[in-house]
């Protein structure tokens, strides 16, 4: 759902005089979840708008150095998922 579609949807629901937050709370939960997913996807697709801080870069470098020094490639995701399910 594009933002303009959301505005049209809210306008169609006779929410005149309500704040955007109040209007959104009137939507079914499924529609609000879709809206949040689409909003998050729009943010994630524009990674250049969210540059890493120097601290984040340093942490990524530290983790990469540790990985390269250790040489342990870890384990397959399927193994981890199987272990988690076994513990549930």
> 25-49: per-residue pLDDT in tens?
888 999 889 988 988 888 888 877 7
Q: Residue 75, SS3? A: coil
- Report the candidate in 45, 24, 20 with the shortest Cα–Cα distance to residue 33: 24
Question: Which residue range forms the structural domain that includes residue 66?
Answer: 52-87
pLDDT for 21 beyond 80: no
Please, which residues have CB within 8 angstroms of residue 83's CB and are 6 or more apart in sequence? none
13 and 26 housed in the same domain: yes
> 65-82: per-residue pLDDT in tens?
998 998 888 899 999 999
13 and 42 housed in the same domain: yes
59 and 79 housed in the same domain: yes
Q: How far is CA 76 from CA 6, 32, 55, 73, in A?
A: 41, 34, 29, 9
12 and 27 housed in the same domain: yes
């Amino acid at each position: 759902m594009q933002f303009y579609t959301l505005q049209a949807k809210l306008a169609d629901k006779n929410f005149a005089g309500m704040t955007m937050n109040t209007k959104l709370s009137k939507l079914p939960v499924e529609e609000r979840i879709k809206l949040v997913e689409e909003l998050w996807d729009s943010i994630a697709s524009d990674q250049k708008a969210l540059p890493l801080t120097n601290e984040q870069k340093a942490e990524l470098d530290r983790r990469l150095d540790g990985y390269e020094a250790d040489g342990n490639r870890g384990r397959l995701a399927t193994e981890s998922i199987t272990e988690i399910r076994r513990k549930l």
